[in-house]
Amino acid sequence: MEKPRVLFLCTGNSAHSQMVQAMLRKYAGDQFEVHSAGLDPTEISPFTIKVFTEAGIDTSGFYAKPLSTFLGNINFRYLITVCSNAEQHCPIFPGMGKRIHWQFEDPSAFEGGDEEKTQVFREIRDQIELSVKAWLEELKSA
């Protein structure tokens, strides 16, 4: 039986979409085929790498991908946008299943010193972890 595919989408695919992809893999194991992408991908934030390394999550496979990588190539059971820009600008495309929006602040947009930025990334990481756990529970009870 084919695993349900999930695509997490944000603007840059540099922070929160990478985070939520990693968290779903951590908590769901191999129950899903998980991907992430950005509308306008940039480099992965070093703060993303830092806070996931702290949490014991391997970041070696993290890299930013454009949405066009998946358009028309893969069917997704779930498309989950994780920022308002992605929610507003994500096109409807063939093979897109249920569309869900989870709103998280963009930690990359925070301006401050390195320690302050690290703390913001930790907070977003922790919010994402709670959202992933809640979603998995919701799917179990459905």
Cα 41 to its chain centre, rounded Å, is 13
Task: With H, G, I as helix, E, B as strand and everything else as coil, classify residue 114.
Answer: helix
Catalytic residue chosen out of the listed positions 6, 24, 67, 90: 90
Statement: the pTM of the whole predicted model exceeds 0.85: yes
Specify the pLDDT at position 94: 67
Beta-bridge mates of residue 80:
8, 100
Catalytic residue chosen out of the listed positions 10, 20, 80, 124: 10
Tens digits of residue pLDDT in 72-93 = 788 899 999 998 888 888 777 6
Specify the pLDDT at position 104: 92
Catalytic (active site) residue 109: no
Beta-bridge mates of residue 34:
6
Q: Is 98 within 8 Å of 76 (Cβ atoms)? A: no
Pairwise CA distance, residues 69 & 67, whole Å: 5
Q: Which residues of the chain have pLDDT under 70?
A: 93-95
Catalytic (active site) residue 90: yes
Residue 63, domain extent: 5-141
Tens digits of residue pLDDT in 47-61 = 999 998 998 888 888
Domain count, the chain: 1
Structure tokens of 32?
């899903």
Share of the chain above pLDDT 70, in %: 97
Catalytic residue chosen out of the listed positions 19, 22, 28, 83: 83
As a dihedral over the C-alpha atoms of residue 96, residue 38, residue 129, residue 4, rounded to 10 degrees, the angle is: 30
CATH code of the domain containing 18: 3.40.50.2300
